[in-house]
Structure 1
């Protein structure tokens, strides 16, 4: 009987958790970002083309999106240089860059990547708790998954409603990236840059080429 009671309690807890997750993802915050002024945005940059694409997106953001914080993988030196050069070219001095462990290195085994992702999540949770952004903007690097999960945890715990905006990379024509597949059901706004992806994924929004 005691075992049945414990199992029942666990099932109830799982149900409540999933219900809360559904509400957070489907409804988001009652106070939408920008409704009361500036929007603090956390931008997740990735190595190579991901960083170039995300900076082109940031370049067209309204001045309303301020302050801006960036998250990069701790082994990604090139992205930090690109971000600093980009912000300097705009004459901006109020931005911050934070590092988290990389979720998965190139050619890393899937088993070991689970552990590295959990490590990245353990660093992302306190970072998101400290920053509490209004919006997380990302476009596919593996680093964005633990960051977005950490943002959802804030909402699940009732600490801060964070809007997740995912823009799939322009190089993804027929299929979503792994990060895209993981975050497709969790993002509040999921944008794709090819109409074929919009047809395959009904939740996705197609606005044409963004970068």
Structure 2
């Protein structure tokens, strides 16, 4: 039997910084926390196993987004399946971006816990990923109280 681990999915920039802060807090409460990760950057958090996925979008070419986002999501989904064969995934935590949507659907279908944390940079409108994850995640956190008007069933967590 494989050891239970959580899967963390995050992106570059603010997504990565928020995940770094979250993992630091989780490790304070659970020093033996074991996790695997998928991101569009190299692992910097000491995960048991890390897969790097293609960047989900090109900020300089809006026309590539309809192709890059589904491709990145599909690659991430395949990576999740690979991780599931190597580790017993107990749940998934994501700070975004959109590459977390398909894996989150997969793990919800497998009756696993899915937690999503909407970006701290959101005050008056939800991110595209957040608008999907609101309906997928078991627990959906917002970091700004003003976002409770957009996502009424969310939990306010404060800033990471």
Q: Is TM > 0.5 for Structure 1 vs Structure 2? A: yes
The residue number in structure 2 matching 1:151 is: 107
Could you tell me how far apart the structure 1 residues matched to 2:139 and 2:56 are? 23
The residue number in structure 2 matching 1:127 is: 82
Q: CA deviation at 1:56?
A: 0.3
RMSD: 2.4
Q: Which has the larger radius of gyration?
A: 1
Structure 1 stretches of 5 or more lacking a match? 1-37, 88-93, 156-160
Q: Any residues of structure 2 matched to 1:59-74 within 5 Å, and which?
A: 59-61=24-26, 62-63=29-30, 66-73=33-40
The residue number in structure 1 matching 2:11 is: 46
With structure 2 as the length reference, what TM-score do the two structures score? 0.80
SS, match of residue 134 in structure 1: strand
The residue number in structure 1 matching 2:139 is: 189
**Distance verdict in 2 for CA 1:168–1:72, change over 3 Å:** same
Structure 2 stretches of 5 or more lacking a match? none
With structure 1 as the length reference, what TM-score do the two structures score? 0.63
Could you tell me how far apart the structure 1 residues matched to 2:68 and 2:18 are? 25
**Distance verdict in 2 for CA 1:111–1:139, change over 3 Å:** same
Higher strand content, 1 or 2: 2
Q: How many residues align?
A: 153
Does the 8 Å contact 1:128/1:147 carry over to 2?
A: no
